[in-house]
């Protein structure tokens, strides 16, 4: 089990926030898992790791949760903007950082909102498929 946790890394966004992510490697198609509200990378790795031989599994902790660390220049505790739109921009930067292409994007719960915001902002040219898990088809009630 310890070996999957060794795959946790950080990348710095353009607004200086360190985002936690894990890349479990693998030679198969890339699966980018976007977790739901408050799920940190270390919580989803055990479930995802069983697929690491078939897929390149990548997941992250969304900004404002668990492993998303602000740059503490001059003692600042600021994490930058925390929103669905910003999370989608963070995903875009992670995709660029890892030079990913043709990802299967999997949005779980709130992660689906992030995935849809990503597609709205950046289109589908880096995404081969979208999988929606545990999300209502109607985001706004009447």
Given this model, what pLDDT does residue 97 score? Answer: 95
- Helix, strand, or coil (residue 89): helix
The model's pTM? 0.82
Look at residue 79 in the predicted model and tell me its pLDDT: 58
- Taking alpha carbons only, the member of 19, 35, 18, 28 closest to residue 57 is 28
Collapsed DSSP state (helix, strand, coil) of residue 124: coil
Strand segments (E) across 35-120: 56-60, 69-70, 103-108
Predicted confidence at residue 8, as pLDDT, reads 84
Per residue of the chain (142 residues), give pLDDT as tens. Answer: 456 677 788 999 998 888 889 998 778 899 999 988 777 777 777 778 888 889 999 989 888 776 544 444 333 455 567 889 999 999 999 999 999 999 999 998 889 999 999 999 999 989 999 999 887 666 655 4
């Amino acid at each position: 089990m310890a070996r999957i946790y060794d795959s946790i890394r950080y990348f710095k966004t353009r607004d200086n926030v360190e985002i936690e992510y894990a890349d479990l490697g693998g030679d198969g198609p890339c699966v980018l898992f976007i977790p739901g509200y408050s799920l940190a990378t270390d919580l989803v790795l055990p479930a995802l790791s069983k697929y690491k031989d078939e897929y390149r599994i990548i997941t992250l902790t969304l900004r404002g949760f668990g492993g998303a660390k602000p740059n503490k220049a001059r003692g600042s505790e600021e994490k930058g903007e925390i929103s669905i739109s910003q999370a989608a921009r963070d995903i875009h930067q992670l995709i660029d950082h890892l030079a990913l292409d043709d990802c299967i994007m999997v949005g779980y719960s709130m992660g689906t909102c992030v995935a849809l915001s990503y597609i709205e902002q950046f289109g589908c040219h880096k995404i081969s498929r979208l999988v929606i898990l545990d999300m209502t088809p109607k985001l706004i009630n009447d």
